[in-house]
Amino acid sequence: MNMKDTGMNKAELIETAKKYMNEQFPRFDFIAEKAKGMYIYDEEGHAYLDFLGGIAVNAAGHCNERVSKYVKQQVDEMVHSSNYCFTIPQIMLAKLICETIGMEKIQFQNCGAEANEAAIKLARKYGVDNYGPERYKIVTALNSFHGRTLGTLAATGQPDSAIQKGFAPFTPGFKYAEFNNLEAFKEAATDDVIAIMVEPVQGEGGVFPADKEFLEGLRKLCDEKNMLLIFDEVQTGWGRTGELMAYMTYGVKPDIVTMAKAMGGGLPIGAMCTSEKLMNTFGPGAHGTTFGGNPVACAAAYAQIEELLEKKLSENAKEVGAYFREKALTLPHVKEVRGLGLITGIEFDQNIANELKYTCAEKKYLLMTAVRPAVVRLVPPLIASKEDCDKAIEIMRETILEIAK
């Protein structure tokens, strides 16, 4: 659907949106009408260099030809059946993912929060079934983000942020420990804890990569105490950090891994992967979903992952991400640059992130922020080039000089 189909102009469309839609956050002042590759195009055809990437979703680029082809074909054949039926896209995607990342079983969900909910439920049931009703607690990291459902909200370690304020009482059974502090996690891992759940790179929290020794220590701790290690790879999965999954970057394999965003090629899909033994904890009726593994979403995900593998986009993410962070260090008012692959956080010495985001959008360059008001987060498509990075840096440089005090 384009603007001509609506019979309204830009101002009328935006007014209609404000009248009927609840806003998650203030939107950019344009209507995204088309997209291709590294660019989004507004209602007048202006091109915006996209380092927001649909919030780490469009890993193979906007309107990737392979993804579009598979989706169009599947829409013509079948849009939805139900999970009472076997469907070819779901079967083939399950095989592709499990064999590619070295997991045995997968359960499809609709998004990252649902994938994390499934992981939490699986860990709890495993603990109760095998060790008794008192062993259900999960330790997560301070400054983490695992989703906005009540369960994943409780798992999110940001008690003083707007993300959690006003939604108490939370689902019980979660404890928080300082990220990258192995001793804090050891102290929190009491006898009633069944799992540790962390992001290999904290994204929403400000882009903080885990130390290798920290994740290695968590793996050892979980093995020693018969606990499960869960990696939330909703944002880091499928090439973002320079390997197909972030746990491959670190050489630390979790018991359970969750994914979404980049796996779907732009369509909503998520998944939880684990071993056959653990997945068998979910007996009939224990966990389910109506739309999880939808044929169209699975077709898009299959195409997206094929594209990531064939074009070796994780390798491009590693090379281009390192180049981008090196250039980012030359920006004015930079306090620190953090990241891994093509997830980068730039922290400034002033709280200018939000203003930078909207002013850069006016200059046809898109980025996003983190919870911290001094941090911008960049998660562009994994097809980004060094030339794209140079252009992005120059727009940021110009904008920072305009807005910084």
Task: State the catalytic residue, choosing from 232, 324, 327, 348.
Answer: 232
Q: How many CB atoms lie within 10 A of CB 333?
A: 17
User: Which residue type is seen at 16?
Assistant: T
CA distance 395 to 376: 14
User: Is 232 a residue of the active site?
Assistant: yes
Cβ 356 vs Cβ 367: under 8 Å: yes
Dihedral sign of CA atoms 335, 210, 138, 233 in order: positive
CA 309-315-317 angle, 5° bins: 105
Cβ 42 vs Cβ 33: under 8 Å: yes
Task: State the catalytic residue, choosing from 50, 185, 255, 261.
Answer: 261
CA distance 356 to 361: 8
For helices 295-310 and 88-101, give the axis angle rounded to 10 degrees: 40
Residues 6+ apart with CB under 8 A from 324: 342, 344, 378, 384, 389, 392, 393
Residues 6+ apart with CB under 8 A from 20: none
User: Is 69 a residue of the active site?
Assistant: no
Place of tokens 């985001």: 357
From the list 24, 96, 15, 30, the residue with the least C-alpha distance to 55 is 24
From the list 261, 271, 269, 303, the residue with the least C-alpha distance to 73 is 303
Residues 6+ apart with CB under 8 A from 97: 103, 106, 263, 271, 273, 305
User: Is 42 a residue of the active site?
Assistant: no
From the list 374, 341, 342, 343, the residue with the least C-alpha distance to 357 is 374
DSSP-derived secondary structure for 299-363: HHHHHHHHHHHHTTHHHHHHHHHHHHHHHHTTSTTEEEEEEETTEEEEEESSS-HHHHHHHHHHT
Q: What is the helix (H) or strand (E) element at residue 35, kind and residue range?
A: strand 32-36
Cβ 102 vs Cβ 265: under 8 Å: no
Catalytic residues: 145, 232, 261
